[in-house]
Amino acid sequence: MRQFCGIFMTKLKEYERRHPILIIIWSVLITALLVAGVMVGVSFRHNTAKEDEYIVFNNKYIEKELQQILKKDKITQEDLDSLRTIDIEDNQEITEIADLAKCKKLTQLTIKNCKLNDISAIEGLNELQVLDLSGNEIKDITALSKCYSLTELTLTNNQISDISPIYGLEKIQKLVIQQNNIGNIQEGIEKMKSLTFLDLSKNRLVNINQLAKIEQLNFLYASSNMLSETPELEGLTNLILLDLGNNAFSELGYLGNLEQLEELDIYSNHLEDFDVLKSCPNIKRLNISYNEYSGVNGIEQCPDLEFLSMKGTKITDISVLENLHNFNTIYLDNDFDRSQIDFMIGNFKNGDEKTKQYLLDKQYNLND
């Protein structure tokens, strides 16, 4: 055998000397085989590494939501880093969101109408700007205290009683925290230097005087609370809208110098006079429905008034409104004597359906 191999190699070398091109062909073939082997090895190692990169989620419900958002069955950290917005709604299986702590680049997060009660994972989402956690079971919002990039925060319909952990979030412009268990506003809320929109409706507030320190505030909603004493809002010189409806006011006096105020909602209280209008002579919209008013004398303090809702009151005479040259919108009870609003013909903008039909008929003589 050894002799045979020797004879074969001798003849092969002799053949190669006669045909040198064969050496080149052999070299190319061997090189190609080596390169192919290396590529297969690299590809195998790459695929194996990628398998190792897939995220293992602790919460299968969060995993399923992210799979739907990303349209992928298997998710990598690179996928999570690409996410800027997550919107999860109406999933009653979600009580915690620890897996979302991996989504470091999020700027907008919505988790609404779930069973969420643990939001500790949000603490590390430093780029979050807009957060909506409405309709959950949240009691503690301490985890939000370091979300310094937040500009909008909505926490409607939870079980929150203390909002002081978010006082240090100086970039928040809009805060909606209605329908919770907030009984008082602690000192320090003035630290929220960018806050211009605040909705505290449907809580248990008995006093909102602390809010007077938020000088830049433009919109304040405090309806459906337990307010009964005139709030001291002297510092709110930039306020445009104030909603104090559905509280327990039997009288409402001077609120402060609110010269910028354009809309005042004091519906569903027990009010009889217009002393409150001394605070806001420039209002354009006034809602006094469902109070104890028997007349509108005093309303002439607001010469720029355009809108009046007075349903559910004892008012029968509105002749004083004829002197308000910008007045164009009124909402009345069905049995109100609408002959008193003939002065609005030609200047009417909006109102209840019966009022609209009455003025339309009058203007075009449709009843003749």
Residue pair 91/64 in contact by the 8 Å Cβ criterion? no
Is 50 exceeded by the pLDDT of residue 355? yes
| Residue 310: CB atoms within 10 Å | 24
Q: What is the pLDDT of residue 48?
A: 43
Q: Give the separation between CA 281 and CA 258, rounded to whole angstroms.
A: 8
Instruction: Identify whether residues 33 and 77 lie together within a single domain.
Output: no
Q: Is the pTM of this model over 0.75?
A: yes
Instruction: Identify whether residues 223 and 92 lie together within a single domain.
Output: yes
Instruction: Give the mean pLDDT of 169-181.
Output: 98
Does 288 reside within a domain? Answer: yes
Residue 241 to residues 220, 231, 238, 286, Cα–Cα distance (Å): 6, 15, 9, 10
Instruction: Give the mean pLDDT of 269-288.
Output: 96
The DSSP secondary structure of 53-120, one letter per residue, reads HB---S-HHHHHHHHHHHT-SS-BHHHHHH--EEEEES-TT-SB-GGGGG-TT-SEEEEESS---B-G
Is 70 exceeded by the pLDDT of residue 45? no
Does 141 reside within a domain? Answer: yes
Does 368 reside within a domain? Answer: no
Residue pair 355/341 in contact by the 8 Å Cβ criterion? yes
pLDDT band for position 295 (50/70/90)? Answer: very high
Instruction: Give the mean pLDDT of 92-100.
Output: 96
Q: What percent of the chain is predicted at pLDDT more than 70?
A: 85
Residue ending a domain, choose from 16, 35, 51: 51
Q: What is the pLDDT of residue 44?
A: 42
Instruction: Identify whether residues 200 and 315 lie together within a single domain.
Output: yes
pLDDT band for position 43 (50/70/90)? Answer: very low
Q: What is the pLDDT of residue 24?
A: 54
Between 217 and 55, residue with greater pLDDT: 217
Does 125 reside within a domain? Answer: yes
Instruction: Identify whether residues 222 and 257 lie together within a single domain.
Output: yes
Instruction: Identify whether residues 121 and 41 lie together within a single domain.
Output: no
Q: What is the pLDDT of residue 157?
A: 98
Instruction: Identify whether residues 100 and 84 lie together within a single domain.
Output: yes
Number of structural domains found in the chain: 2
89-93: long-range pairs with CB below 8 Å, 24+: 89/113, 89/114, 90/114, 91/61, 91/65, 93/61
Q: How many CA atoms lie within 13 A of 114 on its CB side?
A: 23
Is 50 exceeded by the pLDDT of residue 330? yes
Instruction: Identify whether residues 45 and 157 lie together within a single domain.
Output: no
Instruction: Give the mean pLDDT of 209-238.
Output: 96
Residue 146: domain span: 59-363
Question: N- to C-terminal Cα distance for the chain?
Answer: 128
Q: Give the separation between CA 84 and CA 104, rounded to whole angstroms.
A: 9
pLDDT band for position 4 (50/70/90)? Answer: very low
- For tokens 């349903």, name the residue: 311
List of residues 6+ apart from 182 with CB closer than 8 A: 160, 161, 162, 163, 200, 203, 204, 205
Instruction: Identify whether residues 28 and 91 lie together within a single domain.
Output: no
Instruction: Give the mean pLDDT of 269-294.
Output: 96
Residue 352 to residues 64, 307, 310, 337, 347, Cα–Cα distance (Å): 48, 12, 11, 14, 15
Is 80 exceeded by the pLDDT of residue 37? no
Q: What percent of the chain is predicted at pLDDT more than 90?
A: 82
Residue 126 to residues 112, 153, 266, Cα–Cα distance (Å): 21, 14, 40
pLDDT band for position 365 (50/70/90)? Answer: confident
Instruction: Identify whether residues 252 and 323 lie together within a single domain.
Output: yes
Residue ending a domain, choose from 34, 51, 68: 51
Is 80 exceeded by the pLDDT of residue 50? no
Q: What is the pLDDT of residue 31?
A: 57
Instruction: Identify whether residues 228 and 87 lie together within a single domain.
Output: yes
Q: What is the pLDDT of residue 366?
A: 65
State the CATH number of the domain containing residue 163. 3.80.10.10
Instruction: Identify whether residues 196 and 94 lie together within a single domain.
Output: yes
Instruction: Give the mean pLDDT of 21-25.
Output: 54
Instruction: Identify whether residues 302 and 211 lie together within a single domain.
Output: yes
Q: How many CA atoms lie within 13 A of 55 on its CB side?
A: 24
Mean pLDDT of the chain: 89
Q: Give the separation between CA 349 and CA 366, rounded to whole angstroms.
A: 19
- For tokens 């290396």, name the residue: 38
Q: What is the pLDDT of residue 2?
A: 55
Does 31 reside within a domain? Answer: yes
Does 248 reside within a domain? Answer: yes
Structure tokens at 198: 């605040």
Structure tokens at 67: 């799979």
Does 83 reside within a domain? Answer: yes
Q: What is the pLDDT of residue 19?
A: 53
List of residues 6+ apart from 159 with CB closer than 8 A: 137, 138, 139, 180, 181
Q: How many CA atoms lie within 13 A of 268 on its CB side?
A: 11
Does 250 reside within a domain? Answer: yes
Structure tokens at 63: 């995993």
